[in-house]
Amino acid sequence: MSFDDTVTIAVDAMGGDHAPGVVLEGVASALEKDEKLQVILVGPAEVVEPFASSHARCVAQPATEVIAMDEHPAQAVRKKKDSSIVVGCRAVKEGRAQGFFSAGSTGACLAGATLGIGRIKGVQRPALCSVIPSPVAPVVMTDIGANADCKPEYLVQFARMAAIYAEKIVGIESPRIALLNIGEEDTKGSQFAQQTFELMKEGVPGFVGNAEGNDIINARYDVIVTDGFTGNVTLKTIEGTSKALFSALKEVMTSSLKAKVGGLALKKDLKELKDSINADTYGGAPLLGVAGVCLVGHGSSNATAIMNGVLASAEMVRKDVAGLISEAVGK
Amino acid sequence: MSFDDTVTIAVDAMGGDHAPGVVLEGVASALEKDEKLQVILVGPAEVVEPFASSHARCVAQPATEVIAMDEHPAQAVRKKKDSSIVVGCRAVKEGRAQGFFSAGSTGACLAGATLGIGRIKGVQRPALCSVIPSPVAPVVMTDIGANADCKPEYLVQFARMAAIYAEKIVGIESPRIALLNIGEEDTKGSQFAQQTFELMKEGVPGFVGNAEGNDIINARYDVIVTDGFTGNVTLKTIEGTSKALFSALKEVMTSSLKAKVGGLALKKDLKELKDSINADTYGGAPLLGVAGVCLVGHGSSNATAIMNGVLASAEMVRKDVAGLISEAVGK
């Protein structure tokens, strides 16, 4: 670790539904906000070169290919060696950047980072982690989709990695860690959950027991640990439920003149509530356990979300999250 | 099947957080609403006998024990042979009642019905089914917790049983059935999900593919099929998320005078929205695959929910859901 806090993040200029427009805008804002930030902007020469030449602390890294959202992640990463995701991860592997950020295909980023950057020694499986959009307090959940099939011992590592992220990045001191299960009692759940419970009890400092589905968004625990299948379904269920309720609420507020008046009076407060459960605050989902920083933003990211993602990537580098994970989990 | 549509339902007088008060109230309303309904009221003599003697079409069935919410379900069912749940299920087994309703411990009802009433011949595992509280349209989900560990072939049966429930009770013609998974594409998901997908493609009429967590509450599909672990976590996540958002909304609406005025104007409409996502409308979660009707109500059921549960049990008997499941799934 150096005392110089200059950080270089490789950014996928082609990641996300509104790339490259919002990515360039977001990178510009991030460079403005963080004067010790350097960006390697990865993408087609005609996109990245004009931007780099007009922005200080930004270097263009041409990449001729792009991995689309609907491509098979692992196959695309293997085939498209000159794609922005593969080239961005390579910059981290070669030490030219300390972190990689993309709002592109989550699967391709996972495959790109796992193959391209590589795992921290001793980490069995990297895990995707997210801060749950809760109106009460931030809740960290992992794995949210990197590993559809898990062994109980993976979850012990997921828990320890997520605890570091919760503490260093989300700012939760001594996080209370729970296993997502279908009952509170120690003996509840599937065979997998029961075995994991026993391992976590032994091997995870801060482990407090089982959480149920209705314990997540009310922030009863700080870190929710589960396999990538359950985690992905759960996270998307939360997002879908919030979205459906806000949309039903909007309908209610335009259903009559009286309701419209009421809605108008509440508009600002409701906007604030909606923002408070906006997942973009933390800039994206980190892939914990790779030998460097890799953060994946929402495909629907706007410029602010991209800026947050780039800044969050830099923060993860500065806080040395990967190093701390290596100490805690690695061998 | 007889042309006489008189139906007898055994009701657990001691089921639920507010038993027996709300149960008696709910049964009284159900008897009033449905003139062909007969109730066998199961519980302590001092509770059920006075009620039965003052209500037509109600017979008291004394049971000296009660299974509490926090008891180990299977153990309690084996030990407490004179509990209201065990005695109620026995009434169905012996043909004195065609259905059993309880707002008590879900686990004890599952164990009581599986052991006491028994499975339909050919059904590998009974599955707990629920109508998801969606503001858009009713969505049937199964298994929501009866089987934490499943084999892919169980889910094929779950799907076929839930389709009958969706069609006959919820009123969804030709329901569109989806497998809960972590991606839309056919090849996505855990090994379990991939194997299940292949079996469902072959063996489930109306199967349309994979659903994701954010496809549930917006009613993109009519029936969501999953294992009891994922289903339970997902259902509780939806309930928890709705509850947290409504409670945040309530806070917003009292945060300032202006907001209070706005909230007041919306009060009635919001109440309607909240009611529309109230899970109690369908009276509880049926355990599909047992040789009779068994419906489990929410522990927090009020009198209306109890009434709905008793009436829904009678409807399931009249529509011969168990018979149709036996034809479709049984051997």
pLDDT over 80 (residue B59): yes
Contact yes or no for A19/A83 (Cβ under 8 A) = no
Q: Where are the alpha helices (DSSP H) in B8-57?
A: 21-33, 45-54
* Per-residue confidence (pLDDT) for residue B1, from 0 to 100: 43
A150: nearest CA in chain B? B190
Contact yes or no for A246/B267 (Cβ under 8 A) = no
Give contacts of A229 with chain B, Cβ < 8 Å: 182, 189-190, 193, 230
Instruction: Measure in Å the smallest separation between the Cα of B327 and chain A Cα atoms.
Output: 30
* Per-residue confidence (pLDDT) for residue A153, from 0 to 100: 97
Region B251-270: what's the mean pLDDT? 81
Between residues A84 and B273, the one the model is more confident about: A84
Instruction: Measure in Å the smallest separation between the Cα of B262 and chain A Cα atoms.
Output: 4
**CATH of the domain spanning B1-123+289-331:** 3.40.718.10
> What are the boundaries of each domain within chain B?
1-123+289-331, 132-278
pLDDT over 80 (residue A3): no
Indicate the residue of B181, B240, B259 with minimum beta-carbon distance to A266. Answer: B259
A276: nearest CA in chain B? B248
Contact yes or no for B237/A216 (Cβ under 8 A) = yes
* Per-residue confidence (pLDDT) for residue A273, from 0 to 100: 80
A264: nearest CA in chain B? B262
Give contacts of B229 with chain A, Cβ < 8 Å: 182, 189-190, 193, 230
Cβ contact A218–B249 (<8 Å): no
The CATH fold assigned to A125-279 is Isopropylmalate Dehydrogenase (3.40.718)
Taking phi over 0 as left and psi of -120 to 50 as alpha, with beta for the rest, A30 belongs to alpha
pLDDT over 80 (residue B277): no
Proportion of chain B above pLDDT 70, given as a percent:
97
A195 touches B: beta carbon within 8 Å: no
Give contacts of A255 with chain B, Cβ < 8 Å: 269
B261 touches A: beta carbon within 8 Å: yes
- HEC sequence for chain A: CCCCCCEEEEEECCCCCCCCHHHHHHHHHHHHHCCCEEEEEEECHHHHHHHHHCCCCEEEEECCECCCCCCCHHHHHHHCCCEHHHHHHHHHHCCCCCEEEECCCHHHHHHHHHHHCCECCCCCCCEEEEEECCCCCCEEEECCCCCCCCCHHHHHHHHHHHHHHHHHCCCCCCCCEEEECCCCCCCCCCHHHHHHHHHHHHHCCCEEEEECHHHCCCCCCCEEECCHHHHHHHHHHHHHHHHHHHHHHHHHCCCCHHHHHHHHHHHHHHHHHHHHCCHHHHCCEEEECECCEEEECCCCCCHHHHHHHHHHHHHHHHCCHHHHHHHHCCC
Q: Which of residues 266-295 of B touch A (CB under 8 A)?
A: 266, 269-270, 272-273, 276-277
Indicate the residue of B149, B217, B252 with minimum beta-carbon distance to A270. Answer: B252
A205 touches B: beta carbon within 8 Å: no
pLDDT over 50 (residue B278): yes
Cβ contact A217–B244 (<8 Å): yes
Give contacts of A218 with chain B, Cβ < 8 Å: 240, 243-244
* Per-residue confidence (pLDDT) for residue A311, from 0 to 100: 96
* Per-residue confidence (pLDDT) for residue B151, from 0 to 100: 97
A145 touches B: beta carbon within 8 Å: yes
Q: Which run of H or of E encompasses B161?
A: helix B152-165
- Give the pairing of strands A177-180 and A207-211: parallel
> How many residues are there in chain B?
331
B230 touches A: beta carbon within 8 Å: yes
Query: Which residues does A102 contact at the CB level (< 8 Å), separation at least 6?
Result: A11, A12, A15, A16, A84, A85, A88, A109, A295, A296, A297
| Chain A contact probe: residue of B150, B187, B266 with most A CBs at under 10 A | B266
Q: Which of residues 151-180 of A touch B (CB under 8 A)?
A: 180
**Per CATH, the architecture of B132-278 is what?**
3-Layer(aba) Sandwich (3.40)
Q: Which of residues 56-85 of A touch B (CB under 8 A)?
A: none
Confidence of residue B276 (pLDDT cuts 50, 70, 90): confident
pLDDT over 50 (residue A1): no
pLDDT over 90 (residue A256): no
A214 touches B: beta carbon within 8 Å: yes
Confidence of residue A283 (pLDDT cuts 50, 70, 90): confident
pLDDT over 70 (residue B184): yes
* Per-residue confidence (pLDDT) for residue A280, from 0 to 100: 64
Between residues A256 and B122, the one the model is more confident about: B122
A217 touches B: beta carbon within 8 Å: yes
Q: What is the pLDDT of residues A188-213, one digit of tens each?
A: 899 999 999 999 999 999 999 999 99
* Per-residue confidence (pLDDT) for residue A260, from 0 to 100: 83
3-state secondary structure of B97: coil
Region B70-89: what's the mean pLDDT? 94
| CATH topology match: A1-123+289-331 vs A125-279 | yes
What is the pLDDT of chain B when averaged over all its residues? Answer: 93
* Per-residue confidence (pLDDT) for residue B87, from 0 to 100: 98
Region B9-26: what's the mean pLDDT? 96
Query: Which residues does A268 contact at the CB level (< 8 Å), separation at least 6?
Result: none
The Cα B280–Cα A254 span in angstroms is 27
Query: Which residues does A14 contact at the CB level (< 8 Å), separation at least 6?
Result: A20, A23, A42, A43, A44, A47, A63, A66, A84, A104
> How many residues are there in chain A?
331
* Per-residue confidence (pLDDT) for residue A275, from 0 to 100: 77
pLDDT over 60 (residue A2): no
Instruction: Measure in Å the smallest separation between the Cα of A128 and chain B Cα atoms.
Output: 14
Cβ contact A266–B244 (<8 Å): no
Q: What is the pLDDT of residues A135-174, one digit of tens each?
A: 889 999 999 999 999 999 999 999 999 999 999 999 999 9
B300 touches A: beta carbon within 8 Å: no
pLDDT over 80 (residue B46): yes
| Phi/psi at B16 (5° precision) | 110, 165
B242 touches A: beta carbon within 8 Å: yes
| Chain B contact probe: residue of A241, A243, A273 with most B CBs at under 10 A | A241
Q: What is the pLDDT of residues A284-326, one digit of tens each?
A: 999 999 999 999 998 889 999 999 999 999 999 999 999 999 9
* Per-residue confidence (pLDDT) for residue B194, from 0 to 100: 96
| Chain B contact probe: residue of A130, A215, A237, A277 with most B CBs at under 10 A | A237
Indicate the residue of A235, A242, A248 with minimum beta-carbon distance to B135. Answer: A248
B241 touches A: beta carbon within 8 Å: yes
Q: What is the pLDDT of residues B99-156, one digit of tens each?
A: 999 999 999 999 999 999 999 999 999 999 999 978 889 999 999 999 999 999 999 9
* Per-residue confidence (pLDDT) for residue B92, from 0 to 100: 97
Give contacts of B218 with chain A, Cβ < 8 Å: 240, 243-244
Amino acid type, A137 = A
Cβ contact A266–B252 (<8 Å): yes
* Per-residue confidence (pLDDT) for residue B331, from 0 to 100: 63
Q: Which run of H or of E encompasses B133?
A: none
* Per-residue confidence (pLDDT) for residue A4, from 0 to 100: 67
Confidence of residue B257 (pLDDT cuts 50, 70, 90): confident
User: Which residue in A276, A286, A309 sits closest to A29, CA to CA?
Assistant: A309
* Per-residue confidence (pLDDT) for residue B312, from 0 to 100: 95
The tokens for B64 are 């000296």
Instruction: Measure in Å the smallest separation between the Cα of A262 and chain B Cα atoms.
Output: 4
B228 touches A: beta carbon within 8 Å: yes
Size of interface A-B (CB pairs under 8 A): 188
Instruction: Measure in Å the smallest separation between the Cα of B21 and chain A Cα atoms.
Output: 27
pLDDT over 70 (residue A60): yes
Cβ contact B269–A248 (<8 Å): no
pLDDT over 90 (residue B173): yes
B149: nearest CA in chain A? A190
Confidence of residue A331 (pLDDT cuts 50, 70, 90): low
Indicate the residue of B192, B193, B216 with minimum beta-carbon distance to A240. Answer: B216
Indicate the residue of A217, A237, A242 with minimum beta-carbon distance to B234. Answer: A237
Proportion of chain B above pLDDT 90, given as a percent:
78
User: What interface predicted TM-score (ipTM) does this complex get?
Assistant: 0.92
Give contacts of A217 with chain B, Cβ < 8 Å: 237, 240-241, 244
Tell me the CA end-to-end span of chain A in Å, nearest whole number: 19
